[in-house]
Amino acid sequence: MINNYELYKVFYWAAKTGSLTKAANALYLTQPSVSHAIKQLENSFGITLFYRNSKGVALTQEGAILYSYIEQSQILISRAEEKMAALKNLESGELRIGGSDSLFKHYLLPYLENFHYMYPEIRLHLNHGTTPEVISFLKEGKIDLGVVRMPIVDSQLEVRESIQLKDCFVAGEKYAALKNEVLTLDRLLEHPVILFSRNSRARMAITELFQSYGYTLKPEIEVGSVDLLIEFARRGLGISYVTRQFVSKELEEGSLFEIQLDVKLPPSHVGIMTMRHMPLSSTASRFIELVH
State the Cα–Cα distance between residues 163 and 139, nearest whole angstrom: 24
Q: Can you give the pLDDT at residue 3?
A: 60
DSSP annotation of 120 reads T
Residue numbers of the chain with a pLDDT score lower than 50: none
Q: What domains are there in the chain, each with its CATH number?
A: 5-88 (1.10.10.10), 96-151+277-291 (3.40.190.10), 167-266 (3.40.190.10)
State the Cα–Cα distance between residues 7 and 175, nearest whole angstrom: 82
**Residue 269, SS3 per DSSP:** strand
Give the predicted TM-score (pTM) of the model.
Answer: 0.67
Q: Can you give the pLDDT at residue 35?
A: 94
Classify burial at 69, counting beta carbons within 10 Å of its beta carbon; exposed 0-12, middle 13-18, buried 19 or more.
exposed
pLDDT tens column, 168-191:
999 999 999 999 899 999 999 999
Among candidate residues 171, 170, 185, 191, the one with its CA nearest the CA of residue 244: 170
Q: Do residues 251 and 170 lie in contact, with contact meaning Cβ atoms separated by under 8 Å? A: yes
Strand pairing partners for 160?
272
Among candidate residues 196, 138, 134, 129, the one with its CA nearest the CA of residue 169: 196
**In the chain, which residue ranges form alpha helices assigned H by DSSP?**
5-17, 20-27, 31-45, 61-88, 101-103, 109-118, 131-139, 185-188, 201-212, 226-234, 248-253, 282-291
Q: Can you give the pLDDT at residue 1?
A: 54
State the Cα–Cα distance between residues 280 and 93, nearest whole angstrom: 13
Q: Can you give the pLDDT at residue 2?
A: 56
Largest pairwise CA distance in the chain: 102
